[in-house]
A and B are shown apart, each in its own frame.
Chain A
Amino acid sequence: MTAAATTIDAPARPVDAIVAAIRRNGWAIALIAFLALLLVFTKLIQPRYGVAGVQALAISALPLALAAVAQSICVIGGGIDLSIGSMMALTSCVAAVLMKDKPEEFGIVVVLGILLLGLLLGAINGGVVVATRVPDIVVTLAMSFVWAGFALLVLASPGGGSAKWLRDIILGPFLNEWIPKAAIVLLVTIGVVWIPLRRSRLGLSIYALGSNRLAAFRSGVGVGRTKIAAYAITGLFAALAGLGLTASTGIGTPTQGPYTLTSVAAIVLGGVSLAGGRGGVLGPVVAVLILQLLRSDMTFLNVDTNLAIVAQGVILIGVVMFGSLLQWRRGRA
């Protein structure tokens, strides 16, 4: 959880750089190790787990991972967005309706339009927070009803369609049968949006805002603008997640899934501080894979579905507590 600051200029020696990078991403690396263990465990309890399992994992994790990235960005900026699930439903429905029975090329226009729509929805969330000074959690909860209502207006029941190329982008393997396309898509989107953002002044401002609002203001950060921008990017990733939903199912579903709260769980597990200012997006993405894999493991183990949900909650608390304990011990040593 020490992954906090953005160090751009490399330290003097390359060894130092590597050590510093490991220290910064310690929590994410621990999570990856945990994920590896979990994969081994899965293979042990279900010897037939293989290519198909990995593909299914990647496709089911894609929308949730994008939702977790969305949530990370506004939480790092000191807010929280409870409308991610409904923004996903809305964007997914709009996309499905527009793409149904339309030529393939038109799909490209739709996708670009949906991304703009996501930015707009997020900017509205942020704008309302800044303008009304109502706490983030209240505004986004209220907005979640608004966006959910719009989703139902657009599409009363599951339906619509998806351009074939959009489905092809995320379904199936890439080069090697073990590498799911969905994973590549995830990495590319994060790479294209998050990495430049993090290195930009806006990214720095988002961290500053979440870390200490007053100090950020005094450092010359436009507090309101930064907040709106953070929410807009959250909306952009929610729209990407919505497109992921449409692409993976081939239709639009107007009711929101469990994405909002699961995204909060994933970022907490992924080392983002709910107090703001700390964490990145790598941890939350790995956390999503862990949560999804845990769920399939429960199925393999024939655990009662209801009990499985209980177990997920207990594991979440346990892992986060373990992390804090490690940090606490290091602080005392």
Chain B
Amino acid sequence: MTAEPGPLLDATDIAKSYGAVVALRSASLAVRPGEVHALMGANGAGKSTLVKILTGSVRPDRGRITIRGRERTVHSPSEARRNGLVSVFQEPSLIPDLDIRANLRLTRTPLDGFRHWANELGLPRLDLSSPARALPLASLRVIDLARALAIEPDVLMLDEMTAALPANLTERVLEVIGRQKGGDRCIVFISHRLIEIAAVCDRATVLREGATVGVVDVTQGSDERIVELMLGQAVESLAATTGAASTAASADVPARIEARALSQGTKLADASFRLETGEVLGVVALEGQGQDELFDILAGAVRPTGGELLVDGRAVAFGHPADAIRAGLVYVAADRAEALLMQRSVRENIALPYTARLRAWGLIDLRRERERIDRAVKTLQIDARAGNEVRRLSGGNQQKVTIARWVAGGVRTLLCFDPTRGIDIRTKSQIYQLLRELAAAGASVLLYTSELKEVQLVCDRAIVIFGGRVVAELNAVDADEPALLRAAYNLRAGAQIPEAVAAKAVEAATSQAASDEPGAPR
């Protein structure tokens, strides 16, 4: 598998099981010096497990790891680091209660190198004395990366590095990664976004169901080959699912949700829109433009400071998420940990809101509950082999559980906040299919997504939020990626995106987010 220069990192026949669940059967990965190497695979294929093994967070049951030709066993992240292996994980690994400087001291990161890389990555004026807890997620990811780069590891592993980043930061990150090519070191890059793979990677190793199924040279047109390998027999692409729904609802029929000039603190200024019955309405925004606040208001987690919210034509004021659920508004979060009881079973997780709602007192009708749950599990094709504890499921299956719980209860309005973040292409298309089916059955869906390409695939219409206001409304036909991006940066149609201006807007929004939430109590 390897060519002339001996591999820098060579992992062969790695296996790992968690009880009955096999995470890795036989995974191999060989990376040459000077290369940016993609590690690909559908969700649950074992990418994250492999990275955790290589960085010593998890011990493999079997397998051999060599670095520069010498065999190594890594027992802990600090040992991996001494061997030149450093990883940036999916979730930030900064200590929330320590400030950035203390976090750097903890990992013995050279400060000058860190500053240099933070600068390169688009965080020039980072306040090192602010606690990690107070920074927005995107900044934390970039800090994580800058910290790893400053250590100058032989092998740098980036696990879904770009998943939570706004477009401008993603670009900076990819550019910096691209510049690492050709040296003595190498980067292992994990992402679901094929465009990013094509942009920066030299070769790609593809995992399927815990085993390496191929190594592909990344060239023009290698995308299809990669997808084919990832999916195995079931080759399917994201088919456009928009059912040309007639959304021209007459004005006298009340909308399912109507927001009139909703505002919340400094983040949401004037959000007005209508969500009609039976439609999927996309919400597009750069990071921190007020979309979080909007969804919090609709889900009843936060009270608006101004404006009006009408559900089915009646004004409502939610004091608690239970009020929103009673009004038929349910929330699907990007962060699965926010929604699930990780240590409980799939069944309990699905049944939770349903039983809580219908049977406040008295006994749970177990037989009826089981019927409903079985139907939901089947509808969503949840792989529930590891169903005793939800935390053992893959990310995609966890997300399906969060949706299944509302489907089981009979949903009317679904508020989906980036439900496909970090989820593989097959699960993604299943989720989109499901949203279309729910809409066809008369439900309404409000869908915030960070993947602009997919707006056209699943939405009937899309609204764009910028600086806390709804600045544009597009029909699906017009909502292609350039149009959405232009609207998201609040530019006139046809204008170029001035990178500096856009970066400033994002920065202003993120720094505001930082000052808005000083270490909230747990």
Residues of A at the B interface (CB closer than 8 Å) are 1-2, 4-9, 11, 20, 201, 204-205, 207-208, 210-212, 214-222, 273, 275, 277-278, 324, 327-328, 330-331
Please state if A204 and B105 are interface contacts (CB–CB under 8 Å): yes
Question: Bound state CA distance, A89 and B168, in angstroms?
Answer: 62
Question: Bound state CA distance, A277 and B132, in angstroms?
Answer: 13
Cβ 8 A contact of B131, one of A5, A210, A217: A5
Is B107 at the interface (CB under 8 A from chain A)?
yes
* 0 or 1 for each of B282-324: is its CB under 8 Å from A? (1 = yes): 0000000000000000000000000000000000000000000
Please state if B102 and A204 are interface contacts (CB–CB under 8 Å): yes
Is B78 at the interface (CB under 8 A from chain A)?
yes
Please state if B99 and A7 are interface contacts (CB–CB under 8 Å): yes
Given A2-B519, A324-B521, are A215 and B96 also a contact pair (CB < 8 Å)?
A: yes
Please state if A5 and B106 are interface contacts (CB–CB under 8 Å): no
Question: Bound state CA distance, A220 and B97, in angstroms?
Answer: 17
Please state if A11 and B129 are interface contacts (CB–CB under 8 Å): yes
Interchain nearest-CB distance for A79 vs B (Å): 15
Question: Bound state CA distance, A205 and B95, in angstroms?
Answer: 10
Is B89 at the interface (CB under 8 A from chain A)?
yes
Please state if B97 and A219 are interface contacts (CB–CB under 8 Å): no
Residues of B within 8 A of A214 (CB): 93
Additional pairs, 10, CB under 8 Å, beyond known A4-B97, A6-B102, A11-B129: A4-B98, A204-B105, A204-B106, A208-B106, A215-B94, A216-B95, A218-B89, A222-B78, A331-B520, A331-B521
Interchain nearest-CB distance for A209 vs B (Å): 9
Question: Bound state CA distance, A211 and B98, in angstroms?
Answer: 8
Given A5-B97, A5-B98, A204-B98, are A219 and B103 also a contact pair (CB < 8 Å)?
A: yes
Question: Nearest residue in A to B98 (C-beta to C-beta)?
Answer: A5
Is B76 at the interface (CB under 8 A from chain A)?
yes
Is B57 at the interface (CB under 8 A from chain A)?
yes
Is B77 at the interface (CB under 8 A from chain A)?
yes
Please state if A215 and B518 are interface contacts (CB–CB under 8 Å): no
Please state if A5 and B78 are interface contacts (CB–CB under 8 Å): no
Q: What 6 A-B pairs are tightest by C-beta distance, nearest first?
A: A220-B78, A211-B97, A5-B99, A218-B93, A277-B97, A208-B95
Question: Bound state CA distance, A158 and B519, in angstroms?
Answer: 48
Is B37 at the interface (CB under 8 A from chain A)?
no
A-B contact pairs, 9 of them (CB 8 A): A5-B97, A5-B129, A11-B129, A208-B98, A208-B106, A215-B94, A218-B93, A220-B107, A330-B518
Please state if A9 and B518 are interface contacts (CB–CB under 8 Å): no
Is B486 at the interface (CB under 8 A from chain A)?
no
Is B359 at the interface (CB under 8 A from chain A)?
no
Question: Bound state CA distance, A313 and B518, in angstroms?
Answer: 29
Is B81 at the interface (CB under 8 A from chain A)?
yes
Residues of B480-518 whose CB lies within 8 A of A: 517-518
Number of A-B contacts (CB under 8 A): 98
Question: Nearest residue in A to B128 (C-beta to C-beta)?
Answer: A9
Please state if B521 and A207 are interface contacts (CB–CB under 8 Å): no
Please state if A220 and B98 are interface contacts (CB–CB under 8 Å): no
Residues of B within 8 A of A204 (CB): 98, 102, 105-106
Residues of A within 8 A of B78 (CB): 220-222
Interchain nearest-CB distance for A41 vs B (Å): 29
Interchain nearest-CB distance for B94 vs A (Å): 6
Please state if B97 and A278 are interface contacts (CB–CB under 8 Å): yes
Please state if B77 and A219 are interface contacts (CB–CB under 8 Å): yes
Question: Bound state CA distance, A221 and B98, in angstroms?
Answer: 14
Please state if A207 and B98 are interface contacts (CB–CB under 8 Å): yes
Given A204-B98, A207-B95, are A2 and B77 also a contact pair (CB < 8 Å)?
A: no
Residues of B52-90 whose CB lies within 8 A of A: 55, 57, 76-78, 81, 89
Residues of B within 8 A of A4 (CB): 97-99, 131, 519
Mostly, the B contact residues are: loop
Interchain nearest-CB distance for A30 vs B (Å): 16
Cβ 8 A contact of A201, one of B55, B96, B99, B105: B105
Question: Bound state CA distance, A222 and B97, in angstroms?
Answer: 18
Please state if B95 and A211 are interface contacts (CB–CB under 8 Å): yes
Interchain nearest-CB distance for A217 vs B (Å): 6
Question: Bound state CA distance, A11 and B100, in angstroms?
Answer: 13
Interchain nearest-CB distance for B107 vs A (Å): 5
Please state if B95 and A219 are interface contacts (CB–CB under 8 Å): yes
Question: Nearest residue in B to A220 (C-beta to C-beta)?
Answer: B78
Residues of B within 8 A of A278 (CB): 97, 519
Which of B89, B105, B519, B522 has the most chain A CB within a 10 Å cutoff?
Answer: B519
Given A4-B519, A5-B129, are A222 and B95 also a contact pair (CB < 8 Å)?
A: no
Interchain nearest-CB distance for B103 vs A (Å): 7
Is B274 at the interface (CB under 8 A from chain A)?
no
Question: Nearest residue in A to B129 (C-beta to C-beta)?
Answer: A7
Question: Bound state CA distance, A211 and B92, in angstroms?
Answer: 13
Question: Bound state CA distance, A219 and B77, in angstroms?
Answer: 7
Residues of B within 8 A of A2 (CB): 518-519
Residues of B within 8 A of A11 (CB): 129
Question: Bound state CA distance, A173 and B119, in angstroms?
Answer: 56
Residues of B within 8 A of A221 (CB): 78, 106
Interchain nearest-CB distance for A279 vs B (Å): 9
Is B181 at the interface (CB under 8 A from chain A)?
no
Cβ 8 A contact of B98, one of A6, A20, A330: A6
Cβ 8 A contact of B96, one of A211, A324, A328: A211
Is B101 at the interface (CB under 8 A from chain A)?
yes
Question: Bound state CA distance, A273 and B519, in angstroms?
Answer: 12
Please state if B77 and A217 are interface contacts (CB–CB under 8 Å): yes
Question: Bound state CA distance, A7 and B97, in angstroms?
Answer: 12
Question: Bound state CA distance, A86 and B457, in angstroms?
Answer: 67
Question: Nearest residue in B to A217 (C-beta to C-beta)?
Answer: B77
Question: Bound state CA distance, A157 and B92, in angstroms?
Answer: 55
Question: Nearest residue in B to A215 (C-beta to C-beta)?
Answer: B93
Question: Nearest residue in A to B99 (C-beta to C-beta)?
Answer: A5
Given A211-B95, A277-B97, A278-B97, are A20 and B521 also a contact pair (CB < 8 Å)?
A: no
Question: Bound state CA distance, A210 and B99, in angstroms?
Answer: 14
Question: Nearest residue in B to A203 (C-beta to C-beta)?
Answer: B102
Question: Bound state CA distance, A277 and B131, in angstroms?
Answer: 12
Question: Bound state CA distance, A2 and B93, in angstroms?
Answer: 21
Question: Bound state CA distance, A275 and B108, in angstroms?
Answer: 26
Given A2-B519, A201-B105, A204-B105, are A220 and B76 also a contact pair (CB < 8 Å)?
A: yes
Cβ 8 A contact of A212, one of B95, B105, B518: B95
Question: Bound state CA distance, A221 and B102, in angstroms?
Answer: 13
Given A5-B129, A9-B101, A204-B102, are A219 and B107 also a contact pair (CB < 8 Å)?
A: yes
Question: Bound state CA distance, A218 and B131, in angstroms?
Answer: 18
Which of B77, B94, B97, B520 has the most chain A CB within a 10 Å cutoff?
Answer: B97
Please state if B521 and A328 are interface contacts (CB–CB under 8 Å): yes
Question: Bound state CA distance, A11 and B129, in angstroms?
Answer: 8
Question: Bound state CA distance, A2 and B98, in angstroms?
Answer: 11
* 0 or 1 for each of B105-141: is its CB under 8 Å from A? (1 = yes): 1111000000000000000000001010000000000
Residues of B within 8 A of A217 (CB): 57, 76-77
Interchain nearest-CB distance for B294 vs A (Å): 18
Interchain nearest-CB distance for B323 vs A (Å): 20
Residues of A within 8 A of B99 (CB): 4-7
Please state if B95 and A215 are interface contacts (CB–CB under 8 Å): yes
Please state if A219 and B129 are interface contacts (CB–CB under 8 Å): no
Residues of B within 8 A of A330 (CB): 518
Question: Bound state CA distance, A222 and B75, in angstroms?
Answer: 11
Question: Bound state CA distance, A330 and B107, in angstroms?
Answer: 32
Question: Bound state CA distance, A201 and B518, in angstroms?
Answer: 25
Given A222-B76, A331-B520, are A7 and B107 also a contact pair (CB < 8 Å)?
A: no
Please state if A275 and B522 are interface contacts (CB–CB under 8 Å): yes
Residues of A within 8 A of B105 (CB): 8, 201, 204
